[in-house]
Homo-oligomer: A and B are copies of this chain.
Amino acid sequence: MCELLAMSANVPTDIVFSFTGLAQRGGVTGPHVDGWGITFYEGKGNRTFKDARPSSESHIAQLIKSYPIKSEVVVSHIRQANRGCVSLENTHPFTRELWGQYWTYAHNGQLSDYEKKFVSTRFNAVGDTDSEMAFCWIMDKVVEKFGDKAPDDRLAVYRYISTLADEIRALGVFNMILSDGEHLMSYCSNNLCYITRRAPFGKAKLIDTDVVIDFDKETTPNDVVTVIATRPLTNNEQWNVLTPGEWKLFKKGELVSSSVS
């Protein structure tokens, strides 16, 4: 299994605090030592930092913890390999371009009997993980349904993706983070939770390492920041736990759509 971390915010926000907690799970408080990656969107562009080495001892993870990159959307993942060897091409997040936007994806879980299902033509996996094959299959299906030009109704695209995620969940565990740089989707199979922070901001204390932050000193009153994680990263705040099959779509930190329960 792996750990996911993602953020959607209405102002460029750094994720150093949350990433510091997550990185500990890559070899210190958690067993996820088979690489890690983090994608930051800045406008339409993005940049991904990846390493096949454990996040707790990676030079590049150290940079991310010490050099705040401000971003409105972040997708991050630390890996404990189950399908596919430990290598850079198997390290999440994965990115593909569609409709002139970069789509970034990370998966926590494990699937079975997926080879026959995940047949894709336009988007192809570079590595050999079930995760990347699932992503390419989703992207192929989206193009098949909506075509080469972006439809006006983006929510319809995400609703369709949720039905594809339902199909994938039938093959095993499928917790997913997906973003087009503007929207951030979280799909829960068994472990995913989120918190939306807004004024009045308070203090938060990481579970995985002895760090406390006072968000009131780091934010302005209009900031809205949603953080999604496999398991809560702080122990003095109330996280919302998603149920199996539930999904949430965020934009600029706010919830804009979700599964009908």
Q: Which residues does A use to contact B, with CB under 8 Å? A: 42-52, 59-60, 63, 67, 87-91, 96-102, 121-127, 148
Contacts and interface: CB of A to CB of B under 8 A. Distances in A.
B88 A46 contact: yes
Nearest to A62: B63
B97 A127 contact: no
Contacts of A50: 45, 47
B97 A123 contact: yes
A127 B45 contact: yes
Given A63-B59, A63-B63, A67-B59, A88 B124 contact: no
Contacts of A90: 45
Contacts of A48: 47-48
A125 B43 CA distance: 14
Number of copies: 2
A48 B93 CA distance: 13
Given A63-B60, A97-B96, A44 B126 contact: yes
A68 to B, nearest CB: 10
A51 B45 CA distance: 11
Contacts of A49: 47, 49
Contact of A89 (B44, B60, B125): B44
Nearest to A121: B148
Given A59-B67, A98-B124, 14 more contacts: A42-B52, A42-B87, A43-B88, A44-B87, A45-B90, A45-B91, A45-B126, A45-B127, A46-B88, A47-B49, A47-B50, A47-B88, A60-B63, A100-B124
A211 B138 CA distance: 49
B99 A124 contact: yes
Contacts of A121: 148
Nearest to A88: B45
Contact of A127 (B44, B88, B98, B127): B44
B148 A126 contact: no
Contacts of A125: 100
Contacts of A148: 121-122
12 contacts: A42-B52, A43-B89, A44-B89, A46-B88, A46-B89, A47-B48, A47-B49, A60-B63, A60-B67, A96-B97, A99-B124, A101-B126
Contacts of A123: 97
